[in-house]
Structure 1
Amino acid sequence: MLAFLTAGIAPALALMAFFYLKDQYAEPLILMCKTFLLGALLVFPIMFIQYGLTVENLAESSIVQSFVQSALIEEFFKWFIFIYVVFHHTEFDSHYDGIVYAVAISLGFAAVENILYLMINGLEFAVIRALFPVSSHALFAVIAGYHLGKAKMNRRHKHWNLLLAFMLPFLLHGTYNFILATVTSDWLILLIPFMIGLWWTALHRMKKANKYVLYHTEIEA
């Protein structure tokens, strides 16, 4: 059991440390742990809804499974928890904070999902799960958090950025799932370029968010 817990949660913690340490101003660990745990708890209501869709035969096609049963439900719940718990919190006071807290929620979810998957399918999938599903959850969250940070710091385009914070991760997540659901052989040929593009986009958003923080810090100084 310890092996499953370690293999399941280690990639999420490693990624969490990477994104956390990129923040120029460290966020309080208590709030980070809270958002991570809330993300972890999301697994259970989401699994219940997904199970219900399967039982009622409402997710038979690959498109519905990829974009509705998985991406829509998961990204909406993560977005909703961020809005409800973090968006109006006093500690959410810079652009990059949106990325940190969104990633914490998403990786909490990914960690529990990964543990359950490895317990059912075996530890031999630990490496590939770390490289693709766990990291993809974090990268979707970076994009969501970037726009959530913009929504908080720039009220002029608040509603547009709140919408983008949900829609972009939803579409990317759905595309990721659709590749896995429809490409039966040589799926890595499509998935590797997709992940490279996702990493490039996420790192670019992180850099822009940190520049925004630095720019406003210099103005205030």
Structure 2
Amino acid sequence: MLSTVGAALAPGIAILSYFYLKDKYETEPLHMVVKSFIMGILLVFPVMVVQFGFQEELHLGVFAQAYFSAGFLEEFFKWFIIYYTVYKHVEFDEPYDGIVYSVAVSLGFATLENFFYLLSHGVSTAFYRALLPVSSHGLFGVLMGYYLGKAKFSPASKQRWFLVLSLFIPVLLHGTYDFILMVGGTVWPWLMIPFMLFLWMVAIKRSRAALNRSIAAAFGQHYEQEEAEKI
């Protein structure tokens, strides 16, 4: 059991640490990040119930399972929690913060899913799970957080558009990920490898852009404070 818990936790903690430690200028309070991670874990239960209900009542096809049951429902629940618990919080005070908290919630969700899977299929599948399901959830979280950060610090006229993108893009990517697994047959690895490489490249690029905006905002604020003190 301990080996299963460790194998389930390790990839999520590693990916979260990577994105958390990138924010070297104004690191988020650790207790807030841990709280977001735990909320992601707890989200698994209501999502499973809702997914089961839709599948039983509507008998969803492959496309609907991928883009609605997996993509929309899972990403919407994450987005909803982040928006109402973190987005309006005083600690969300720079663009990169959206990425930190979204990744924390997403990886909390992925970690419990990973634990259930390893419990059923064995620790031998842990490497595959770390490379694909866990990391993909984290990367969906990067993109969700990137656009939440854009919304938070953009003019009011653009905020709604970025909020829409913060949900739409993760849903689209998550649905595509599941669709590849469902219909890829024996060639699914050859479809998944370029998809995951693309996802990593986009996520890294967006995280750097958010971090650069946060650094620029921090230095601008410090400069203004110094000038005000001189006056």
State the TM-score bracket (shorter-chain normalisation): over 0.9
Mapped pair 1:205 → 2:206: yes
Q: Which residue matches 1:18? A: 18
Q: Which residue matches 2:111? A: 111
TM normalised by structure 2 equals 0.93
Q: Deviations over 1:139-178 (max 9, x none)?
A: 0010000000011111331110000000000000000000
CA distance in 2, matches of 1:54, 1:64: 10
Query: Identity, % of aligned pairs?
Result: 46
Q: Deviations over 1:88-116 (max 9, x none)?
A: 10000000000000000000000000000
Q: CA RMSD in A?
A: 0.9
How many angstroms does 1:122 deviate by? 1.5
Give 3-state SS (helix, strand or coil) of 1:42's partner.
helix
Q: Which residue matches 2:159? A: 158
CA distance in 2, matches of 1:172, 1:62: 16
Q: Which has the larger radius of gyration?
A: 2
Q: Which residue matches 1:214? A: 215
Structure 1 unaligned residues grouped into runs of 5+: none
Code of the residue aligned with 1:91 in structure 2: it is: E
CA distance in 2, matches of 1:20, 1:208: 15
CA distance in 2, matches of 1:205, 1:215: 15
TM normalised by structure 1 equals 0.97
Query: Do the aligned residues in 1 keep the contact of 2:94 with 2:217 (CA within 8 Å)?
Result: no
Q: Which residue matches 1:69? A: 69
Q: Which residue matches 1:93? A: 93
Structure 2 unaligned residues grouped into runs of 5+: 224-231
Q: Which residue matches 1:34? A: 35
CA distance in 2, matches of 1:105, 1:164: 18
CA distance in 2, matches of 1:139, 1:58: 29
Size of the aligned set, in residue pairs, is 220
Q: Deviations over 1:167-194 (max 9, x none)?
A: 0000000000000000110211110000
Q: Stretches of 4+ moved more than 3 A in 1? A: none
Q: Which residue matches 1:172? A: 173
